[in-house]
Amino acid sequence: MAAAFRALFDAVPLEGPANRIECVFSGLNGESFWAKEWGVAQIRSADRFREQFRVEHPADCMGDPGAALGLVMLGLAAFDLARGRRHSPCLVWCASDREERAVALLSRVGE
C-alpha cells in the first residue's frame, strides 16, 4: 500500500497545506491486516495529509461488498465532493487479498 501511495503522490504532487488530504475513503473491512497496511502507508506519506483528517470506511455500515468496494467508495467520495460535504482532495484506497492495491485521488472541479 505504501508503494501505491508513493506512486500516486509522485504523479500528483500536493503542494501547500490547503491541498493536503482531508478525507480518506478506506478499504478497512474489520481485518487487522488492512489496518496495519493503512497505518504504514499513512505514516510514510504523513506530509500529504492535513493534521486533522477524516477516515471513512463504508464496509462498517454495509458489510464488505468484495470487489465492488473500490467503485462504491469512488462513488461515495464523488457524491460527497459534488454536494460540498467534503473538501478536495479525497483519497480512496482499497486492497485485494492478493497483491493488488488501488489508490485514487479525487478533487472537486474548481477546488
CATH number at residue 86: 3.40.47.10
Across 19-43, average pLDDT: 88
CB 24 within 8 A of CB 53: yes
Model confidence at 67: pLDDT above 80: no
Count of beta carbons in the 10 Å neighbourhood of residue 55: 12
DSSP assignment of 86-99, as one string? SPSPEEEEEE-SSS
Range with the lowest mean pLDDT among 57-61, 77-81, 103-107? Answer: 57-61
Question: pTM to 2 decimals?
Answer: 0.87
CB of 34 within 8 A of CB of 97? no
φ, ψ at 102 (rounded to 5°): -135, 140
What's the domain count of the chain? 1
Q: Is residue 88 situated within a structural domain?
A: yes
Average the pLDDT over each of 31-35, 48-52, 81-85 and give the range with the smallest value.
Answer: 31-35
Asked if residue 70 is part of any domain, the answer here is yes
- What counts of helices (H) and strands (E) characterise the chain? 4, 4
Closest among 7, 6, 10 to 40, alpha carbons compared: 6
Q: 31 lies in which domain range? A: 2-9+19-106
111 domain residue, yes or no: no
Q: What is the pLDDT of residues 97-107, one digit of tens each?
A: 888 899 999 98
Q: What is the mean pLDDT of residues 22-33?
A: 85
Q: Is residue 14 part of a domain?
A: no
Residue 57 belongs to a domain: yes
Asked whether residue 44 is domain-assigned, the answer is yes
